[in-house]
Amino acid sequence: MLSFILIIIAGLFFSGIISRTKSIASGRKGPGIFQPLKDVVRLFKKGAIYSETTSFIFQIAPTIYFASIIMAMLIVPFGQSKGIISFNGDFVFFAYVLALGKFFNIISAMDTGSSFEGMGASREALYSMLAEPAFFILMGSFSLLTGHTSFQEIFAALHLGSTISYALATLATFVLVMVAMIENSRMPIDDPKTHLELTMIHEVMILDNSGFDLGLILTAGYLKFAVYGALIVNLFIGIVGYQYSIPLFFAIQFSMAVTIGLVESFMARFRMNHNAQFILVLSSVSFLIFFVVMLILGKFI
């Protein structure tokens, strides 16, 4: 329950910190930290408008997408505390409950009958498919190293007491940050501020969403960032007491938001045909973690 509450709190500020970091980096005053939250609240007060070409799928997809994020939040542990839902192999359930929400988000874009939204849906499906192996190889490697298959037991058994273990945690952090940026369609894979349909990915998918539905989609994105940040926190806190782990949780979430803001400020978006190559590199990094784990366990002769 503690992790669920902390993720919600972090999610409320995550996007605002990213926007504020980008404003400072570019020398602008920019919006305040609470501006994204105010925008969402304003959207929740409005009604949604549906095109006559859409079916019930378009109407239920934002709710299912949001519910999938909430379900994923219930699985994430916090140090010694298990998630509200915890069982052997729960990291597989975590990945595919997020995939279910993404699936409905994709088919809702196709349900509009718009060629532009279908194009964005095709790209998002491809990038999510390419990012999935990196996550499974990473968690599979840690499962092999610790001998456990649930999030809480894996993270609790990771003892960062050696140089190798810190190196593994650093590489895992890089993979999780990049997966979070791919899943949320951020730079350098996608530019959330672009308005050119030919180069848009996620933003073109939600062009027909409005009002309450759009508010759900935006809120789900903020929470998804915080969920991946919580996984990174668990790599380092182990069985540390709450008096240290809770401040560390917010420090890591803040650092992740600032890092994303700096990346989006100083990096240009990749060319579309280079995105797939970049995403596949993440699987290579996960394979590196896997090989190190195999060496630690003495599986190589």
Candidate from 38-52, 71-85, 217-231, 271-285 with smallest mean pLDDT: 271-285
Q: What's the longest Cα–Cα distance across the chain?
A: 64
Asked, for residue 61, whether it belongs to a domain, the answer is yes
Residue-level pLDDT at 109: 86
Q: pLDDT tier at 301 (50, 70, 90 boundaries)?
A: low
Candidate from 3-12, 81-90, 191-200, 276-285 with smallest mean pLDDT: 191-200
Asked, for residue 252, whether it belongs to a domain, the answer is yes
Q: From the CB of residue 296, how many other CB atoms can be counted at a distance below 10 Å? A: 14
Residue 78: beta bridge partners? 81
Q: From CA 281, how far away is CA 175, in angstroms rounded?
A: 10
Candidate from 9-23, 100-114, 149-163 with smallest mean pLDDT: 149-163
Q: What is the tally of structural domains in the chain?
A: 1
Asked, for residue 65, whether it belongs to a domain, the answer is yes
Q: 3-state DSSP: the chain helix, strand, coil percent, rounded to 5?
A: 75, 0, 25
Question: Which residue stretches of 238-271 are H helix?
Answer: 242-266
Asked, for residue 301, whether it belongs to a domain, the answer is no
Q: Give, rounded to a whole angstrom, the gap between the first and last alpha carbons of the chain.
A: 44
Asked, for residue 14, whether it belongs to a domain, the answer is yes
Query: Domain limits at 75?
Result: 2-296
> Kindly report the CA angle at 213 between 132 and 182, in degrees rounded to 5?
20
Q: From the CB of residue 241, how many other CB atoms can be counted at a distance below 10 Å? A: 10
Q: pLDDT tier at 64 (50, 70, 90 boundaries)?
A: very high
Asked, for residue 166, whether it belongs to a domain, the answer is yes
- Please give the average per-residue pLDDT across 108-137, as a whole number: 84
Asked, for residue 281, whether it belongs to a domain, the answer is yes
- Please give the average per-residue pLDDT across 106-125, as a whole number: 83
- pTM: predicted TM-score of the whole model, two decimal places: 0.89
Buried b (16+ CB within 10 A) or exposed e, 43-59: beeeebebeeebeeebe
Residue-level pLDDT at 63: 92
Residue-level pLDDT at 195: 67
pLDDT at 44 over 80: yes
Q: What is the pLDDT of residues 172-218, one digit of tens each?
A: 888 888 888 888 877 777 777 766 666 677 777 887 888 888 889 88
Q: What is the pLDDT of residues 148-161, one digit of tens each?
A: 888 888 888 876 66
Radius of gyration of the chain (CA): 19
Asked, for residue 163, whether it belongs to a domain, the answer is yes
The SS3 call for residue 301 is coil
Supply the mean pLDDT for the chain: 84
Q: Are 283 and 134 in contact (CB under 8 A)?
A: yes
Ramachandran class of 113: left when φ > 0, alpha when ψ lies in -120 to 50, beta otherwise: left
CA distances from 17 to 12, 31, 55, 94, 215 (A): 10, 10, 37, 26, 19
pLDDT at 1 over 60: yes
Q: From CA 250, how far away is CA 221, in angstroms rounded?
A: 18
pLDDT at 260 over 80: yes
